[in-house]
Amino acid sequence: MRDLVDPTLLPGLDIMPALDLTEEALPAIREGLAQMSAMIPEPEGHGVAWREERFTAPAGHELLVRVYRPEAAAGTLPAILHIHGGGFVLGSVATNHLANIELAARAGAVVVSVDYRLAPETQGLGAVEDCYAALCWLRDRAAALDIDPARIAVRGESAGGGLAAALALLARDRGGPAIAHQNLIYPMLDDRTCAAAHAPHLGALVWTPQGNAFGWRSLLGREPGAADVSPYEAAARAGDLAGLPPAFIAVGALDLFVIEDLDHARRLIETGVPVELHVYPGAYHGFDVVPDAPPVRRMKRDAVAALRRALHPGEAA
């Protein structure tokens, strides 16, 4: 399958081999990823201040958020609620730390990354409820954070993208905080993909059908594909997409999620929701692990441009 990969992205396959996810291996994989995140040095002079805050969720447990603000930005800023990826079973606010520093600077926004509870320890709606609690905290703390509560976007990668899409549904249905834009980076949207027949090159690299089934099984607490899966668990299960915020969706052409992401974009478009969709040739799941590769630079440019159009509507094109 490597012959289908954009040559500039091939180094990423050595950084991110496919994971054999099992309950037995999960603790060691988590520890390894945490050590890798801790080893990456923070660049000097990046111009973004960050800190961590904690608050109590409605269910009574404590949640951690990491808050990033561009130091040179003056006045009230828009905000981005960031939800990290990791197949629902991996990751933390440290996973995208450097990327969120860059995102805050380039988008001209306060970025708040939420450390939601992971599966299988927390199943069902626990993760999306944590994200909703963080969205409400962000709205309620608007004055203290000096952000505009009318300009809040949600963004996530992989499982985080799926949670961002589910959060948009949950906020709409509860009449919760308004979301101006959803920025979905190769989102994990549909548990039924685990049982679907795909061309063998889709999901052959990095995030495989085996890992995908493990992630969904861990979140749902049962085998994926059942008839009664909630749209707040798997956003592709939503019957009504009307009234959702405009969406940006980016995915690689070799990603296991490309079909479900294309279908989600189609359904949003048919409902009348504005959608910007990008499919990057020769790109596998998580291809932005190679930060300076041309496809990655294009994806970052496209995603940030969509955020700036949504969050800085008066800005010159």
Task: List, in sequence order, the alpha helices (H) in 191-255.
Answer: 209-220
**Largest Cα–Cα distance in the chain?**
53
Rounded Cα gap, residues 158 and 207, in angstroms: 10
* Residue entry with tokens 């596998």: 284
At 102 the three-state DSSP class reads helix
Structure token pair of residue 81 = 């609620």
* DSSP count for the chain of H helices, then E strands: 9, 8
At 253 the three-state DSSP class reads coil
Rounded Cα gap, residues 60 and 40, in angstroms: 33
255 noted as active-site residue: yes
Q: Which of 255, 261, 264, 288 is flagged as catalytic? A: 255
Name the DSSP class of 221.
S
At 99 the three-state DSSP class reads helix
Q: Are 285 and 252 in contact (CB under 8 A)?
A: yes
Q: Which of 6, 158, 218, 261 is flagged as catalytic? A: 158
Contacts within 8 Å (CB) and 24+ apart, 100-104: 100/50, 100/66, 100/68, 101/42, 101/43, 101/46, 101/48, 101/50, 101/68, 102/46, 102/300, 103/68, 103/155, 103/304, 104/48, 104/68, 104/69, 104/70, 104/80
142, amino acid identity = A
312 noted as active-site residue: no
Active site residues: 158, 255, 285
